[in-house]
């Protein structure tokens, strides 16, 4: 996954308002069911959301990057963090809520991956459980080929990321491909690194159908969501509002 250190990752996304997003999410969940108490943050990254969510919930997390998990544990010392793949994990606890934010669901890059991932979410929820997913972009929104850049900085480090975006079809699956080039500058010098990320592009209908096929009910889609990318909320039990 990411070759950046946990600290470099946070510098790159220094302008992202994790606290605001966590509070928006808390308000949504409280309106949905104020008795929800336990949360599993899937693809939790460095735990920047969890640092704020743990004020309201018991929060655990999982990710594929060990350094990210180390920082997440420091931000939420009471949480349990697991180095596992979201497409195939088995934990010894059920949760009231499973979250998958910051478009991380896109790393389930094929329809088969998506169904496996959502099934894992379903298997780790209590009977009253809720899943909340912030989607990646839909196929008709993804612009490719395209080159763009992002920048983040703190007092000691400045990072520029140049991204070349393309797309690939694999049978019925549509996959976004992002070739990242990083320039990371400090007083000691400038480093360059590169990595490639592939994420599945799903329509709203495909996402909703996959949730239903994986055993969820009352699927609701909010086109705005927390950051403008939309938000899916679904329940385990039938008839829950």
In this predicted model, what pLDDT tens digit does every residue of 41-60 receive, in sequence order? 999 999 999 999 999 999 99
Q: Which two tokens stand for residue 124?
A: 């780790």
Token readout for 100 is: 């998958």
Q: Which positions ≥6 away from 172 have C-beta within 8 Å?
A: 111
The pLDDT of 205-222, averaged and rounded, is 98
The whole-angstrom separation of Cα 105 and Cα 101 is 8
Note the maximum CA span of the chain.
59
What dotted CATH number matches 6-137+202-235?
Answer: 3.40.50.150
Q: Which CATH architecture has domain 146-200?
A: Single Sheet (2.20)
Give residue 1's pLDDT band: very low, low, confident or very high (50, 70, 90). confident
Query: Looking at residue 3, what is its pLDDT?
Result: 86
Complete edge-to-edge strand list for the sheet that includes strand 125-133: 81-83, 58-63, 38-42, 95-100, 125-133, 231-235, 217-222
| Domain locations in the chain as residue ranges | 6-137+202-235, 146-200
- The pLDDT score that the predictor gives to residue 238 is 72
Residue 34's pLDDT band (cuts 50, 70, 90): very high
Per-residue pLDDT at 240 exceeds 60: no
Predicted structure pTM score: 0.96
* Beta bridge partner(s), residue 59: 39
Average pLDDT, the chain: 96
pLDDT digits (tens, 9 = 90+) for 102-142: 999 999 999 999 999 999 999 999 999 999 999 999 999 99
Q: Do 65 and 48 contact (CB within 8 A), yes or no?
A: no
**What phi and psi values does residue 8 have, to the nearest 5 degrees?**
-65, -40
Query: What pLDDT score was predicted for residue 28?
Result: 97
- The percent of residues in the chain predicted with pLDDT above 70, rounded, is 99
Please name the helix (run of DSSP H) or strand (run of DSSP E) that holds residue 146, with its range, or none: strand 146-153
Mean pLDDT of 230-240: 87
């Amino acid at each position: 996954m990411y070759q950046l250190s946990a600290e470099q990752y946070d510098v790159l996304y220094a302008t992202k308002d994790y606290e605001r997003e966590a509070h928006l999410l808390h308000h949504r969940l409280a309106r949905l069911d104020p008795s929800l108490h336990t949360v599993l943050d899937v693809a939790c990254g460095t735990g920047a959301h969890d640092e704020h969510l743990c004020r309201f919930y018991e929060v655990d997390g999982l990710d594929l990057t060990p350094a990210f998990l180390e920082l997440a544990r420091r931000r939420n010392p009471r949480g349990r963090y697991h180095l596992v793949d979201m497409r195939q994990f088995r934990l010894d606890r059920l949760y009231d809520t499973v979250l998958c934010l910051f478009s991380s669901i896109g790393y389930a890059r094929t329809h088969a991956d998506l169904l496996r991932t959502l099934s894992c979410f379903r298997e780790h929820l209590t009977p009253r459980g809720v899943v909340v997913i912030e989607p990646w972009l839909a196929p008709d929104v993804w612009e490719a080929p395209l080159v763009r850049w992002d920048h983040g900085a703190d007092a000691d480090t400045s990072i520029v990321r140049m991204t070349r975006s393309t797309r690939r079809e694999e049978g019925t699956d549509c996959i976004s491909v992002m070739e990242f080039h990083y320039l990371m500058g400090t007083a000691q010098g400038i480093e360059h690194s590169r990595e490639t990320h592939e994420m599945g592009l799903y329509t709203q209908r495909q996402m909703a159908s996959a949730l239903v096929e994986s055993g969820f009910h009352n699927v609701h889609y909010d086109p705005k969501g927390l950051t403008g990318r939309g938000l899916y909320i679904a329940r385990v039990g039938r008839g829950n509002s």
